[in-house]
Structure 1
Amino acid sequence: MTQLMPHNDIQIAVGKFGEAVIGPQRQQLTVAVHSGMAPIRTLSSGTVRMAGGHHALPHIHAESEIQVYVVRGRIASLVGPDLTPLLHGPGSLLYIAPGLEHVGVNLDPYEPADLVEFCTDPAFNADVIRIDGLDALAETRVTDLRREYLLGRCDEQLATPSVHAVTR
């Protein structure tokens, strides 16, 4: 529940994180700042929690730009029509352009990963469209990445925070 607190010439909306929901991309999402809380025009935010061994389903954000910050965990993003893998450790930031195919992957089979996502969808995650045609390729990429991770071949890339911007 959002509470409005008038203060001089401004209003301060104070809310709590909503309940976690599973989005169409099979991600556990908790909305934070969104258009239901304030008259947001272009920016919302929330958290994403990925259980150990979890990966999202292939999807796009039809109109929204997103930025994802890795708080905890070792993550891979599969991006573009060929699901090119990018690795992200804690402190990493990823930008994904609107309409770009992607899949989030928690590389660790046991430890959860926590992310903060910012997007230009005022409602947070309302313009997600599943891309069913990439499911088989995603499964292959995820299996290969997890093997590489368990063999320690990703450690060097995951040790240093990275910044990736993926556009067409």
Structure 2
Amino acid sequence: MALRKILTEGDEQLLKHSRKVEKFDDRLHTLIDDMRETLENSGGVGLAAPQVGILRRVVVLLDVNKEPEEMVELVNPEVIEQKGSERVVEGCLSVPGVYGYVTRPTWAKIRAQDRFGNWFEREGEGIVAQCFCHETEHLDGHLFTEKVEEYIDPENMQGGDEE
């Protein structure tokens, strides 16, 4: 496993659409393992492959609603259902030091494949639902800054999560 460099705003890779994963092989497993390690060392909650310069539909995230926290691997994920909405503070590992209010669902269901190609569905609420949406948007070349309704001065922040 290896730490990968997290790209930051201004890098063209972050604005590109990621391709569907079709080969579930050792290269994919290495990417996922590296992304897991990179996320663990970042202090963030989620990481999408484009953030490490790989235009594939792969996401890793922490399900912080589980005890203990669980690392979730999503290949070819899509949000298939969402309910509710709330205005939440959001940040992003690719936009360091920037936080703002965005509106996200309070609950979401995602459909994805695991590292071996098996399909599954997973539900999440709160920050996990937020992360499902935030990370899948990265796969389509979008940053959370496109959704920010109001920016927050990091010095006066009372909470928030980098994804």
Superposition TM-score, scaled by structure 1 size: 0.29
Superposition TM-score, scaled by structure 2 size: 0.29
Structure having the higher Rg? 1
Q: Which has the higher helix share?
A: 2
